[in-house]
Amino acid sequence: MDSDIFEALFDIVTFFDQPQRDRCLLQRARVHLEPAALPIVVWVARQPNISVGQLADHIGRNHSSVSRQVDRLMAAGWLEEPDRRDQRVRRLTLSTAGHQGLLRIQLARAAELQERLSDYSTADRAELLRVLQRLAQTLQVK
């Protein structure tokens, strides 16, 4: 059974890790953003004042490529550096435009998920949420 759990998790991760899926999501949201920037925007929203180094660790990319992507997002008005007391560390937050863009992405993602889960009952959805939240908590790095 454990190998079946792994296979199901692998399928889910693969689904969410496809650049083409992100392109479709961004198109659906009518947001002009590179698919590679999407995890950065999501992590900055989840953890305001995150450093570029922490961001690179979370998304599994090297610091320099994340830093270049951050520069592009800042130039596009998606990200801000609220306070740069320590010149060695760049801390990031979403700008107002970044929050608005992320909201459009979240709405598009919710609509897609609702379509894909349309044959799930309310009870099925509640059970799925419960099990996924428990799994997420179990898998958190301690």
pLDDT in tens, 76-112: 999 999 876 766 778 999 999 999 999 999 999 999 9
pLDDT (tens digit per residue) in 24-70: 999 999 999 999 899 999 999 999 999 999 999 999 899 999 999 99
CA distance linking residue 109 with residue 65, whole number of Å = 26
Determine which of 6-10, 92-96, 121-125 has the lowest per-residue pLDDT on average: 6-10
Domains located in the chain, CATH noted: 2-139 (1.10.10.10)
pTM of the predicted structure, to 2 decimals: 0.84
* Contact (CB, 8 A) for 66 and 40: yes
